[in-house]
């Protein structure tokens, strides 16, 4: 005298409402975040190269942080820290050529860093620090 | 009493099966989450019991700092820039370009100060590559000035505000 329900039906209403994006069109958006590992590698490299070349980070650490993350992103996606402040027709070809792989040729030869990552002491934007922490990078790019 | 079942031929209905957890090997592994083993487990036959790979979504982040300059794409380029009756300032930027952030702030101030006299637009060279190639943009940030549909001035790199103001004044007076 037992009733056993072996199967039953579940009604799933079809979604008719179109997906609406609430993104503000007037907001500048960055790409997907680079890996923490690559960010740390590029952070250490930046500190070491600043000391080696006698250059300093920008007085606005936000600039430094974004560039370091850009280098890390290119390291993740391309396998090399291609300069993030240039436009390339073919990024893979540029990586193979090596001219714009950080530290780029203009930086190595003339201490000219278009990205403002490595600034000579006489530069108006140069700070007085050659170090940046991972927390500083995360903090200054948290609102991106 | 006889056993019964409810089914439907409606396409919006999905048949679910009641499974005894004691006979299911996979559900027993998750039963430790409950203080008492549930009497039955509902599972949709067409769905996997668990995700085969973890769901990883890229963190898409944005500058909370809203820019007064309007983003422009290839589709809007002609109408917004080339056919504009007022002079136009366009800043070309890249996603991970640090100096571009500094220039954005300067252009925001300029957009406010020259409201009505000048239109300001921004172009992402990572997404709108064709525009960047058309104007031979190699390094960013680059600010281009347009008047009557023609490029008439440019400021390459990160400069103090005075440089941009001087370029704008030259264009407005010409």
- In chain A, the residue whose alpha carbon lies closest to the alpha carbon of B19 is A6
- Among the ranges A117-126, B55-64, B97-106, which has the highest mean pLDDT value? A117-126
Each residue's pLDDT tens digit, B12-36 = 444 444 444 555 444 444 444 545 5
- Per domain, the residue ranges of chain B are 70-173
Each residue's pLDDT tens digit, B110-148 = 999 899 989 899 899 988 888 898 898 989 999 998 998
Q: Regarding beta strands B41-43 and B13-19, do their DSSP bridges make them parallel or antiparallel, or are they unpaired?
A: antiparallel
- In chain A, the residue whose alpha carbon lies closest to the alpha carbon of B60 is A32
- Per domain, the residue ranges of chain A are 34-135
Is B120 labeled as catalytic in the residue annotation? Answer: no
Query: Residue B133, SS3?
Result: helix
Do A56 and A130 form a contact (C-beta atoms < 8 A)?
A: yes
Say yes or no to pLDDT of A47 above 80: yes
For residue B85, what pLDDT is reported?
81
CA dihedral A58, A60, A66, A67 (to 10 degrees): -10
B169 vs A13 pLDDT, higher one: B169
Question: Could B160 and A33 be called an inter-chain contact, meaning their C-beta atoms sit closer than 8 Å?
Answer: no
Please give the class, per CATH, of domain B70-173.
alpha beta
Each residue's pLDDT tens digit, B62-80 = 443 445 588 888 788 888 8
Place domain A34-135 in its CATH homologous superfamily: Ferredoxin thioredoxin reductase catalytic beta subunit (3.90.460.10)
């Amino acid at each position: 005298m037992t009733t056993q329900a072996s199967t039953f039906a579940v009604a799933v209403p079809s979604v008719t409402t179109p997906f609406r994006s609430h993104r503000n069109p007037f907001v500048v958006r960055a790409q997907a975040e680079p890996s923490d590992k690559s960010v740390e590698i590029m952070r250490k490299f930046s500190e070491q190269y600043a000391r080696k070349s006698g250059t300093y980070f920008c007085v606005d650490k936000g600039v430094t942080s974004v560039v370091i993350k850009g280098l890390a992103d290119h390291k993740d996606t391309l396998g090399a820290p291609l300069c993030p402040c240039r436009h390339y027709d073919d990024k893979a070809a540029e990586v193979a050529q090596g001219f714009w792989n950080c530290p780029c040729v203009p930086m190595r030869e003339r201490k000219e860093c278009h990205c403002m990552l490595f600034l000579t002491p006489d530069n108006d934007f140069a700070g007085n620090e050659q170090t940046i922490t991972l927390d500083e990078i995360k903090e200054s790019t948290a609102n991106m | 009493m006889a056993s019964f079942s409810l089914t439907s031929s409606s396409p919006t209905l999905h048949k679910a099966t009641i499974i005894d957890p004691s006979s299911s090997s996979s559900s027993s592994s998750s039963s430790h989450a409950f203080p008492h083993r549930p009497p039955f487990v509902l599972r949709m036959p067409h769905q996997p019991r668990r995700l085969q790979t973890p769901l990883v979504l890229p963190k898409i982040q944005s500058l909370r700092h809203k820019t007064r300059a309007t983003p422009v794409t290839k589709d809007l380029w002609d109408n917004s820039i080339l056919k504009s009756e007022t002079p136009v300032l366009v800043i070309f930027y890249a996603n991970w370009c640090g100096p571009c952030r500094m220039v954005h702030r300067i252009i925001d101030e300029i957009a406010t100060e020259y409201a009505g006299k000048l239109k300001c637009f921004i172009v992402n060279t990572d997404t709108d590559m064709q525009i960047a190639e058309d104007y031979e943009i190699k390094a960013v940030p680059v600010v281009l000035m347009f008047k009557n549909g023609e490029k008439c001035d440019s400021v390459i790199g990160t400069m103090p505000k005075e440089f941009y103001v001087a370029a704008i004044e030259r264009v407005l007076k010409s």
